[in-house]
Chains A and B, each alone.
Chain A
Amino acid sequence: MATTSKNMNVFYRQKKNSSASTGKKSTKSPSPKHAATFGSDITQPPALVSHDDFDEQEQVLRQFDMNMAYGPCVGITRLDRWERAQRMGLNPPKEIESLLRGGKVKLESLFDGRV
């Protein structure tokens, strides 16, 4: 492949992650990030690591997913499941409905894409 570096730049557009690099510089953690110490996620595969642990809304919705009274959550969107529970007379909490119809929450259950 007789391509010059000039041509390679045209082929593969390079994007600089300027925001991430500045972020890395600013945070300082006492322990190195890639060590298998307490609080590190190195041993867990990326899909299972919950990155938004501090998102209260997602926690509330996950509790709704796990509540067996409303039936299984796999293969059905959260809103469909809420509506089904409503139709069956199970009185699911109204806050869940407003949460699902309103903000930027995940509409699929927590097992979506993992099962």
Chain B
Amino acid sequence: MEVDSQEQLQRKQSTYLSLDENFEIQKEVYRGQQYSQIYFARLHMMRTLLYSLVPNWKSHLPVCTVLELEEGKECIIVGTLYKHMKLKPCILDEYSKERSVAPLIKPHNFMHQDDYLVLEDESGRVKLGGTKLSPSVYVTGVVVALHGKETSAGAFFVEDVLEAGLPPQIERPLKSREDKYVVFVSGLSIGSSSSNPLQFQLLVDHITGHLGDEEEQGFAAEIVHLVIVGNSVEISHGLLNGQNLASKDQSRLSEPFKELDILLTQIAASLPLDIMPGSSDPANFALPQQPLNRCLFPGSATYNTFRSCTNPHCFELDSIRFLGTSGQNIDDLTKYSEAKDKLDFLERTLRWRHLAPTAPNTLGCYPFTDRDPFLIDSCPDVYFVGNQEKYETRLLKGLEGQLVRLICIPRFCETGVAVVLNMRNLECHALTFGTQISS
């Protein structure tokens, strides 16, 4: 085996542009505002957009507000949906005098056949009827335009729905690109009992070119970026019960970070990497989660290839736009609505042009006053979500020629699967690492 080969393999590079400014909250000041402000910002932005789309949809009908509805008059109204859910957990249940036989264990999904939708704008709200708008598909916080008329019962009978649809996509120059790969991995859960350090070490070795022959190394040299999509560490809950920690327990608290830092240093020395916070990481609870503190990564943060990013995370590599979250938004949709698979949820959030419509209703969110940072203005080329059960992907085609690669990234500690995306053609494949030593 040749140790010194004639030509040294160079890793390919790509230009990186971070678009996370919208998700940073350092400049925000809390002045005692409530969530009505973010709902107003969302309604205003989406309503302006929907008003521009309504003439192409049904130009002959008048547009009015909820308060201006007249019985029997066919019209179009625009507002925010609210889904009344019977099984949705309510803080008041704890104080309820009647101790009904309600199950103590919460179900995974809070849907019920009696759920109904309500449309709301600044002037008022109206209950929605008809079968066109299915309560199992929609969630609170989505802004839509509805065509219908008010019934004698005071409800609004929906005849048709207009969603905002996929946002416009910036044209990418179709120059002949070379193969460049981006690797996504999520749910490393270092520190949990189910994580296998050998699996992640194998991944690191593969990406940095320490595994395999020249052909394998050649493939690894085409990997230009690594994105770690949340839940990199898991602290055992026994340590987080609010009691003061004994000194021997304090080292147990920091062990997962030390282990993660060692591995990230190996990666950062080799290629650019982005790390996003997830629900189990030491970042703020409410979305948008702020970048993990650099002091957690004393070894890897010294490299300029190491980037701690927000959740949601938006960036451009060679002018290809990537947008994704660590999974909290899709997990919340799973609890309050239903779909065939997780990719359907991803597609819905794009059609609604909102990353997390259930925020702040059932998903923690910062109370912004002048904007809603989760609105999607420009269609990404790659839209990903981390910490899902299995690897799934689909290429979504929009009506105006938009092309989006939807990716569900599985939890690495459970599946050993990372996802590799080719930036030339947006093709995706799985990279599986097994450590079973079979006889």
A13-21, A28-36, A57-65, A66-74 - interface stretch: A66-74
Residue of A69, A80, A89 near B122 (CB, 8 A) is A69
> Does B280 have its Cβ within 8 Å of any Cβ on chain A?
no
Asked if A75 and B370 make an inter-chain contact with CB atoms under 8 angstroms apart, the answer reads no
Indicate if the CB atoms of B44 and A80 lie closer than 8 Å. Answer: no
Decide if A87 is an interface residue (CB 8 Å cutoff): yes
Q: Which of B113-129 contact A (CB under 8 A)?
A: 122-123
Do A68 and B122 touch (CB < 8 A)? Answer: yes
Would you give the 0/1 interface string for B40-62, flagging 1 where the beta carbon is closer than 8 Å to chain A?
Answer: 11001100100000000000000
B32 within 8 A of A: yes
| Count, chain A residues at interface, CB 8 A | 14
Q: Which of B40, B123, B370 contacts A72 (CB 8 A)?
A: B40
Q: Judge if A42 is at the interface, Cβ distance under 8 Å.
A: no
A84 on interface, CB distance cutoff 8 Å:
yes
Determine the residue in chain B with the shortest Cβ distance to A74: B34
A contact patch SS: loop
Q: Contact between A84 and B123 (Cβ–Cβ < 8 Å)?
A: no
> Are A84 and B370 interface neighbours, CB within 8 A?
yes
A72 touches B31 (CB 8 A): no
Question: Does residue B422 face the partner (Cβ distance < 8 Å to A)?
Answer: no
Chain B: minimal CB distance from A85 (Å): 9
User: Chain B residues with Cβ under 8 A from A87's Cβ?
Assistant: 370
Please give, as numbers and ranges, the residues of chain A lying within 8 Å of B123 by CB-CB distance. Answer: 68
B37 at the interface (CB under 8 A from A): yes
Number of A-B residue pairs having CB atoms within 8 Å of each other in the complex: 40
* Interface residue? A2 (CB, 8 A): no
The verdict on A1 contacting chain B, using a C-beta distance below 8 Å, is no
Q: Chain B: interface secondary structure?
A: loop
Q: Does A88 contact B (CB under 8 A)?
A: yes
The one of A72, A80, A84, A89 that contacts B36, using a Cβ cutoff of 8 Å: A72
CA distance A9 to B302 in the complex (A): 67
Chain A residues in 8 Å Cβ range of B33: 74-76
In the complex, residue of chain A having the shortest beta-carbon distance to the beta carbon of B121: A68
CB of A6, distance to nearest CB on chain B (Å): 47
By a CB distance below 8 angstroms, the chain A residues around B36 are: 71-72, 74-75
Which A residues are in CB contact (< 8 Å) with B369?
75-76, 80, 84
CA of A68 to CA of B120 in the docked complex: distance in angstroms?
A: 13
**Do residues B31 and A75 form an inter-chain contact, with CB atoms below 8 A?**
yes
We find that the number of chain B residues with CB closer than 8 angstroms to chain A is 16
Give the residues in chain B near A80, CB-CB below 8 Å. 31, 369-370
> Which chain B residues numbered 302 to 358 have a C-beta less than 8 Å away from chain A?
none
Q: Give A74 Cβ to nearest chain B Cβ, in Å.
A: 6
Which chain A residues in 85-111 approach chain B with CB under 8 Å? 87-90
Min distance, Cβ B39 to any Cβ of chain A, angstroms = 8
Nearest CB on A from B83, distance (A): 22
Closest to A112 in B: B32
Do residues A88 and B32 form an inter-chain contact, with CB atoms below 8 A?
no
| B34 proximity list for chain A (CB < 8 A) | 72, 74-75
Q: How far is the CA of A88 from the CA of B45 in the complex (A)?
A: 8
Contacts of B122 in A (CB 8 A): 68-69, 71
B32 cross-chain contacts in A, Cβ below 8 A: 75
- Interface flags, B4-45, vs A, CB<8A=1, else 0: 000000000000000000000000000111101100110011
Are A71 and B40 within 8 A (Cβ)?
yes
Closest B residue, CB atoms, query A75: B33
Q: A83: nearest residue on chain B (CB-CB)?
A: B370
A26 to B201, CA, bound (A): 90
Residue of chain B at shortest CB distance from A87: B370
Residues of B within 8 A of A74 (CB): 33-34, 36
* The residue from B31, B37, B44, B367 contacting A88, defined by CB atoms under 8 A apart: B44
> In the complex, how many angstroms separate the beta carbon of A66 from the nearest chain B beta carbon?
11
Residue from B31, B36, B123, B370 whose CB has the most chain A CB atoms within 10 Å: B370
Q: Please provide the chain A residues from 18 to 59 with a CB less than 8 Å away from any CB of chain B in the complex.
A: none
* Closest beta carbon of chain B to A110's beta carbon, Å: 15
Q: How far does the alpha carbon of A47 sit from the alpha carbon of B123 in the complex, in Å?
A: 28
Residue of A nearest to B40 (CB): A71
A88-B37 Cα distance, complex, nearest whole Å? 13
Which residues on B sit within 8 Å (CB–CB) of A84? Answer: 369-370
User: 5 shortest A-B CB distances, which residue pairs?
Assistant: A75-B33, A71-B40, A72-B36, A68-B122, A84-B370
Identify 11 new A-B residue pairs, CB closer than 8 A, beyond the known A75-B367, A90-B44: A68-B122, A69-B122, A75-B37, A76-B33, A76-B37, A76-B369, A80-B369, A84-B369, A87-B370, A88-B44, A89-B48
Name 18 A/B residue pairs within 8 A (Cβ), A-sorted: A68-B122, A69-B122, A71-B36, A71-B37, A71-B40, A72-B34, A72-B37, A72-B40, A75-B32, A75-B36, A75-B37, A75-B367, A76-B31, A80-B369, A84-B369, A84-B370, A88-B44, A89-B48
